[in-house]
């Protein structure tokens, strides 16, 4: 899983509502500052003191690529932050907002006690010899890792630094020790400031380490992508499953300082701008010759321009990694037994997903099997009332096929109507499901693969009786577990629905590649079970790191740009499968799968090299429509090539009702780009290069206001060698500049009623020029005991698209006021009472909601403004706009009247 920001999919409204009852100005805030050349933390804190700003030091960072510190401020104003950015000691300033790590549910943990793990030893310092093994994992086969491994390529001599939650280096599959000579040879615990980055409480980093380099001395035949590498681990996430950006930056910096050839970061820090501090740091690392791979994120169901989880993957030169589904899914299943013809006959094992339990209906015992249908591929099994001659089902386990025509609770209702309380579902594929509760009825449920259900049906159809036997340990959840690998032809190899879409606000091509990340079995802390299945781009990222390591050993090249170009040219794009399961005949958009699925063997052997890894054509306002790339033949003989292209699916960013993001899958629209080339054939001598000019005409006839994203692949097919290359391209058939940053519709931007204590739901918007009569304020915060009959004026701001640093203002300005009004400095030519920045000094993402109440008291100086007519005015710099040009600002205005109650409680 990903380290994610709090404002993740589905939580935007909840967080915005929580903001309504909070003060506009935070009590405390944390920041990261990059110091100007020649400055140090002491001089920065001295300058803070000189300006009367009290700060609490957090962490100092003094590294070759980043010198700075982090600090906390007590309650402050936006003007305070603005003044700090102008200090002579300051180069850059960013917020330091804590992120939360997602973790999988407990049932995903394999019940393998540490003592049962092959090779486990009480002597945790024991060095375990690295072993070779046949590599037959499906994830390795579809990425050609197995073919390189067959040639003895294991990543020898390559150092990979992992920035994560630490690692259980006692695990026998991870070498059993820490330090020089061990698989986990270096690193640091930044959470507890220890030399050993040990993890026995989180698991995320242990899982990642196993994906890269698990040794084959384990009960499941696992082997990492590159088991010959040397691993470093930098623990920046603790047991609380949260991470601070400043701590992450320390881990990333130290991984670079310690000589890591590759740095793997399965974390996201909330910004889709490459100017985010962690993205900036990673870009510097890449520019200094080291590979950085980073998770693209798990917000795929948000569609294009997803909110958050972009950094550091969004960084220029950083390899952003998306996720495809494992074609051979590992399933953690309980082992029980069955017999044929007699409950005391010979027992055979079967594996099943226990699913929903009900203490009043135990599984323990031996039960005959009854099938509601004897047809193995029925699509509507038990979707209607069962036949009248159906027996009393209470003494049976009822076998029913998961329906494609009705919901599971309908099937349960039909079975329970005949007194059936133990239901065993099967199919419709080999993948079992964790059967949930059946609404309000008592049955318990489990599931088996389609093949197991068919085997039982064959027995029943041959007039045999089948008896299922369950031990009491099933009810206690202590029964033996096993793992089976089940083929997944429906979604295997396609994009994971949760894998984040790319397209940064700078329209760079993101992600770069995809690798297997959904349903991945790997190592887990011994104290927590030893092995676990997890899903996410967190799992895809270390897989890519392992492929990079194999390529470095195979080609003896370490330059990140060259490696990225090689991998991109031979990656394998796949068709577009929507989240609904619909497969389109077009390739999946580049904004989702990048160059495609990594192909390790082809990357190691290819002799034709592109000068770029992708082409970004930008939007229609800044169309970079003609570009020249270089093609180099590094082989020993001349090669001839045919040049062409194939469009991938063009998709809309918004639904038909504008400014509503298309979720969970962007809709496909007919139309693709037209590409022309300076030549449709090339012949290049051995060791020589040739230029190829590419010109694009974006698709026509599309609704540009819905921001259609077009993409595809330039193809280069050798006619003299078996080399077929592709180069991803992407563009936007619309204008970022013309796309509103804030919603322009009155339905969203109305003056809001903010009632005391914070409403559970947004009240209806009040129309412009409404009158708000409120008690004379004693605080800038909404009083918790404010009677319900009083409404505090406020505004709710929802961002449609991202915006550049500190350029979204919510201004409270006077219109018609009797007496003197306490005004602040002019903002965009307006005299204002109060200026609220959205996310002070940070590159802002889309889909963020902000609530701004106003009691009548200014937050800075506690001044109570006079009664009168005021205006909420939202001003935001348009994307790609020039802040010095007045016409480049979008505005929305909502006037209202403010009145105070007198001491008698009347207006």
Per-residue pLDDT tens digits for 293-343? 999 999 888 899 887 668 899 999 999 999 999 999 898 899 999 999 999
- The catalytically annotated residue of 538, 711, 718, 726 is 538
> DSSP string of 322-349?
EEEE-SEEEEEEEEEEEEESSTTS--EE
| pLDDT score at 759 | 39
Residue the block writes with tokens 């160059």: 595
Secondary structure letter of residue 617 according to DSSP = E
pLDDT digits (tens, 9 = 90+) for 252-293: 999 999 999 999 999 887 777 888 899 999 999 999 999 999
- What is the rounded distance in angstroms from the CA atom of residue 268 to the CA atom of residue 266? 7
Tell me the whole-structure pTM to 2 decimals: 0.88
Residue 219 or 335, more confident: 335
CB 533 within 8 Å of CB 519: yes
Angle at 675 between CA 653 and CA 592, to 5 degrees: 35
| pLDDT score at 581 | 87
Burial of 460 (0-12, 13-18, 19+ CB in 10 A): middle
pLDDT tops 90 at residue 132:
no
Range among 133-137, 219-223, 827-831, 832-836 with highest mean pLDDT value: 219-223
| pLDDT score at 481 | 84
> Residue 286 is encoded by which pair of tokens?
């890449």
Average pLDDT estimate for 880-890: 87
Give the torsion sign (CA, 341, 343, 345, 351).
positive
- What is the rounded distance in angstroms from the CA atom of residue 818 to the CA atom of residue 830? 18
Q: For 808, phi and psi rounded to 5 degrees?
A: -105, 115
CB 824 within 8 Å of CB 814: no
| pLDDT score at 404 | 80
Give the torsion sign (CA, 13, 15, 20, 24).
negative
SS3 15: helix
Average pLDDT estimate for 824-829: 69
Angle between helices 204-213 and 537-555 (to 10 degrees): 30
Residue 365 or 904, more confident: 365
Residue the block writes with tokens 């002597």: 123
- What is the rounded distance in angstroms from the CA atom of residue 753 to the CA atom of residue 770? 10
Residue 128 pLDDT class (50, 70, 90 cuts):
very low
Helix (H) or strand (E) holding 93, with range, is strand 90-95
> DSSP string of 220-267?
T----S-TTSEEEEEE---TT-EE-HHHHHHHHHHHHHTT-SEEEE-B
- What is the rounded distance in angstroms from the CA atom of residue 718 to the CA atom of residue 728? 18
- What is the rounded distance in angstroms from the CA atom of residue 126 to the CA atom of residue 132? 19
User: Any residues with CB less than 8 A from the CB of 62 and at least 6 apart, and which?
Assistant: 40
Asked which of 99-113, 230-244, 451-465 is least confident by mean pLDDT, the reply is 99-113
- What is the rounded distance in angstroms from the CA atom of residue 808 to the CA atom of residue 745? 17
Residue 499 pLDDT class (50, 70, 90 cuts):
very high
Q: Which residues pair with 731 in a beta bridge?
A: 618, 710
Asked which of 156-160, 197-201, 747-751, 758-762 is least confident by mean pLDDT, the reply is 758-762
User: Any residues with CB less than 8 A from the CB of 694 and at least 6 apart, and which?
Assistant: 615, 626, 627, 628, 629, 675, 676, 677, 678, 714, 729
- What is the rounded distance in angstroms from the CA atom of residue 539 to the CA atom of residue 541? 5
User: Any residues with CB less than 8 A from the CB of 905 and at least 6 apart, and which?
Assistant: none
| pLDDT score at 835 | 78
Catalytic-residue membership of 796: no
| pLDDT score at 748 | 43
Give me the chain's average pLDDT, please: 85
> Residue 296 is encoded by which pair of tokens?
């693209």
757: left (phi over 0), alpha (psi -120 to 50) or beta: left
pLDDT > 90 fraction of the chain, expressed in percent and rounded: 59
Bridge-based pairing of strands 262-265 and 159-164 is parallel
Task: Write 415-420 long-range contacts (CB < 8 A, 24+).
Answer: 415/372, 415/382, 415/386, 415/443, 416/441, 416/442, 416/443, 417/385, 417/386, 418/386, 418/390, 418/391, 418/392, 418/393, 419/392, 419/393, 419/394, 420/370, 420/393, 420/394, 420/396
- What is the rounded distance in angstroms from the CA atom of residue 620 to the CA atom of residue 87? 39
Polymer length in residues for the chain? 907
SS3 827: strand
CB 162 within 8 Å of CB 185: no
> Residue 74 is encoded by which pair of tokens?
């007590």
CB 537 within 8 Å of CB 513: no
Burial of 655 (0-12, 13-18, 19+ CB in 10 A): middle
Asked which of 66-70, 261-265, 399-403, 848-852 is least confident by mean pLDDT, the reply is 848-852
Average pLDDT estimate for 80-95: 88
Helix (H) or strand (E) holding 279, with range, is helix 277-287
- The catalytically annotated residue of 204, 207, 796, 809 is 204
CB 87 within 8 Å of CB 47: yes
pLDDT tops 80 at residue 181:
yes
- What is the rounded distance in angstroms from the CA atom of residue 348 to the CA atom of residue 766? 69
- What is the rounded distance in angstroms from the CA atom of residue 456 to the CA atom of residue 435? 20
pLDDT tops 50 at residue 180:
yes
pLDDT digits (tens, 9 = 90+) for 372-404: 999 999 999 999 999 999 999 999 999 999 998
Residue 355 pLDDT class (50, 70, 90 cuts):
confident
CB 173 within 8 Å of CB 209: no
Asked which of 105-119, 627-641, 740-754 is least confident by mean pLDDT, the reply is 105-119
Range among 3-12, 533-542, 805-814 with highest mean pLDDT value: 533-542
Asked which of 119-133, 393-407, 650-664, 717-731 is least confident by mean pLDDT, the reply is 119-133
- What is the rounded distance in angstroms from the CA atom of residue 725 to the CA atom of residue 602? 10
Query: Which domains are assigned to the chain?
Result: 329-486 (3.50.30.30), 607-737 (2.60.40.2310), 751-900 (no CATH)
Residue 662 pLDDT class (50, 70, 90 cuts):
confident
Residue 358 or 764, more confident: 358
| pLDDT score at 671 | 93
pLDDT tops 70 at residue 799:
yes
pLDDT tops 90 at residue 663:
no
Residue 526 pLDDT class (50, 70, 90 cuts):
very high
User: Any residues with CB less than 8 A from the CB of 123 and at least 6 apart, and which?
Assistant: none
Q: For 217, phi and psi rounded to 5 degrees?
A: -85, 70
Residue 76 pLDDT class (50, 70, 90 cuts):
low
| pLDDT score at 155 | 98
| pLDDT score at 318 | 97
Q: Could you list the beta-strand ranges (E) of 378-507.
A: 397-401, 422-426, 444-448, 466-470, 481-487
Other beta carbons within 10 angstroms of residue 901's beta carbon come to 13
Asked which of 113-117, 318-322, 485-489, 710-714 is least confident by mean pLDDT, the reply is 113-117
- What is the rounded distance in angstroms from the CA atom of residue 486 to the CA atom of residue 507? 39
pLDDT tops 50 at residue 587:
yes
Q: Which residues pair with 334 in a beta bridge?
A: 352, 481
CB 306 within 8 Å of CB 502: no
pLDDT tops 50 at residue 24:
no
Catalytic-residue membership of 761: no
- What is the rounded distance in angstroms from the CA atom of residue 35 to the CA atom of residue 39? 6
Nearest-CA neighbor of 19 among 840, 782, 764? Answer: 782
Residue 825 pLDDT class (50, 70, 90 cuts):
low
- The catalytically annotated residue of 164, 508, 753, 835 is 164
> DSSP string of 149-202?
HHTT-S-TT-EEEEEES-B-TT-GGGTS-BSTTSSEEEEEETTTTBSS-B-SS-
Q: Which residues pair with 231 in a beta bridge?
A: 160, 184
CB 620 within 8 Å of CB 732: yes
Residue 855 pLDDT class (50, 70, 90 cuts):
confident
Residue 384 or 752, more confident: 384
Number of H helices, E strands in the chain: 15, 45
């Amino acid at each position: 899983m990903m380290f994610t920001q709090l404002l993740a999919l589905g939580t935007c409204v909840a967080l915005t509502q929580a903001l309504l009852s909070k003060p506009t100005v935070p009590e405390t805030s944390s920041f990261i500052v990059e110091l100007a050349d020649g400055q140090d933390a002491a001089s920065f804190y001295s300058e803070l003191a000189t300006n009367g700003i009290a700060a609490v030091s957090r962490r100092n960072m003094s590294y070759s690529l980043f010198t700075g510190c982090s600090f906390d401020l007590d309650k402050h104003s936006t003007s305070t932050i603005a003044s700090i950015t102008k200090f002579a000691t300051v180069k850059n300033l960013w917020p330091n907002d804590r992120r939360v790590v997602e973790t999988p549910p407990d049932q995903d943990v394999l019940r393998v006690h540490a003592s049962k793990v092959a090779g486990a030893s009480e002597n945790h310092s024991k060095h375990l010899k690295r072993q070779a093994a046949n590599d037959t994992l499906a994830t390795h086969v579809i990425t050609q890792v197995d073919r390189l491994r067959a040639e003895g390529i294991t990543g020898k001599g390559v150092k990979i630094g992992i920035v994560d939650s630490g690692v259980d280096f006692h695990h026998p599959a991870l070498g059993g020790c820490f330090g020089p000579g061990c698989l986990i040879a270096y690193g640091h615990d930044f959470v507890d400031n220890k030399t050993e980055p040990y993890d026995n409480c989180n698991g995320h980093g242990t899982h990642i380490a196993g994906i890269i380099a698990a040794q084959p001395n384990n009960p499941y035949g696992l082997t990492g992508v590159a088991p010959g590498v040397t691993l470093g681990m930098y623990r920046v996430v603790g047991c609380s499953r949260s991470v601070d950006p400043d701590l992450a930056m320390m881990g990333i910096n130290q991984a670079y300082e310690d000589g890591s050839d590759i740095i793997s970061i399965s974390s996201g820090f909330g910004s889709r701008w490459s100017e985010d501090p962690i993205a900036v740091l990673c870009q510097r690392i890449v520019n200094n010759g080291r590979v950085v791979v980073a998770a693209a994120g798990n917000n795929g169901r948000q569609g294009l321009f997803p909110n958050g989880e972009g950094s550091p993957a969004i960084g220029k030169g950083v390899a952003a990694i998306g996720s495809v589904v494992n074609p051979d899914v590992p399933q953690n299943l309980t082992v029980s037994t069955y017999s044929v013809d007699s409950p005391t006959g010979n027992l055979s094992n079967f594996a099943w997903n226990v699913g929903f339990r009900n203490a009043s209906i135990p599984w323990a015992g031996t039960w005959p099997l009854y099938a509601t249908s004897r047809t193995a591929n029925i699509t509507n099994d038990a979707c209607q009332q069962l036949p009248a001659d159906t027996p009393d089902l209470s003494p049976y386990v009822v076998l029913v096929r998961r329906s494609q025509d009705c919901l599971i609770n309908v099937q349960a209702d039909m079975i329970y109507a005949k007194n059936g309380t133990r239901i065993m579902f099967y199919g419709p594929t080999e993948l079992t499901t964790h059967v949930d509760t059946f609404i309000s009825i008592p049955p318990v449920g489990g599931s088996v693969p389609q093949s197991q259900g068919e085997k039982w049906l064959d027995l029943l159809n041959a007039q045999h009786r089948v008896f299922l036997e369950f031990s009491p340990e099933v009810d206690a959840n202590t029964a033996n577990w096993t793992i089976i690998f089940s083929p997944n032809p429906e979604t295997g190899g396609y994009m994971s629905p949760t894998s984040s879409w790319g397209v940064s606000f700078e329209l760079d091509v993101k992600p770069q590649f995809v690798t297997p990340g959904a349903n991945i079995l790997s190592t887990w802390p011994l104290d927590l079970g030893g092995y676990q299945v997890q899903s996410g781009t967190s799992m895809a990222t270390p897989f890519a790191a392992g492929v990079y390591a194999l390529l470095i050993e195979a080609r003896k090249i370490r330059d990140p740009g060259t490696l990225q170009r090689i991998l991109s040219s031979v990656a394998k794009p796949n068709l577009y499968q929507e989240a609904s399961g619909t497969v389109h005949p077009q390739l999946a958009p580049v904004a989702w799968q990048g160059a495609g699925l990594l192909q390790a063997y082809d990357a190691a052997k290819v002799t034709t090299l592109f000068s770029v890894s992708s082409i970004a054509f930008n939007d229609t306002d800044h169309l970079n429509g003609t570009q020249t790339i270089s093609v180099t033949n590094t082989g020993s003989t001349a090669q001839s090539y045919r040049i062409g292209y194939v469009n991938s699916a063009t998709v809309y960013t918004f639904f038909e009702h504008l400014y509503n993001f298309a979720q969970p899958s962007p809709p496909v629209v007919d139309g693709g780009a037209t590409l022309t080339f300076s030549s449709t054939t090339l012949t290049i001598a051995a060791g020589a290069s040739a230029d190829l000019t590419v010109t694009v005409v974006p698709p026509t006839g599309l609704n540009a206001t819905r921001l259609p994203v077009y993409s595809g692949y330039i193809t280069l097919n050798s006619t003299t060698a078996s080399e077929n290359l592709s180069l991803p391209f992407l563009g936007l058939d619309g204008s970022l500049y013309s796309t509103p940053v804030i919603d322009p519709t009155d339905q969203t931007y109305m003056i809001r009623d903010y009632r005391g204590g914070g409403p559970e739901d947004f009240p209806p918007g009040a129309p412009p020029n409404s009158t708000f009569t409120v008690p004379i304020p004693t605080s800038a915060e909404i009083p918790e005991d404010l009677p319900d009959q009083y409404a505090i004026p406020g505004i709710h701001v929802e961002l449609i698209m991202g915006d550049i640093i500190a350029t979204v203002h919510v201004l409270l300005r006077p219109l018609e006021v009797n007496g003197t009004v306490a005004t602040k400095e002019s903002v965009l030519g307006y005299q204002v009472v109060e200026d609220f920045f959205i996310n002070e000094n940070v590159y802002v993402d889309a889909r963020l909601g902000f609530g701004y109440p106003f009691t009548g008291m200014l937050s800075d100086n506690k001044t109570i403004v006079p009664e009168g007519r005021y205006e909420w005015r939202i001003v935001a710099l348009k994307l790609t706009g020039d802040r010095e040009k007045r016409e480049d600002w979008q505005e929305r205005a909502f006037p209202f009247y403010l009145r105070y109650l007198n001491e008698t409680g009347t207006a």
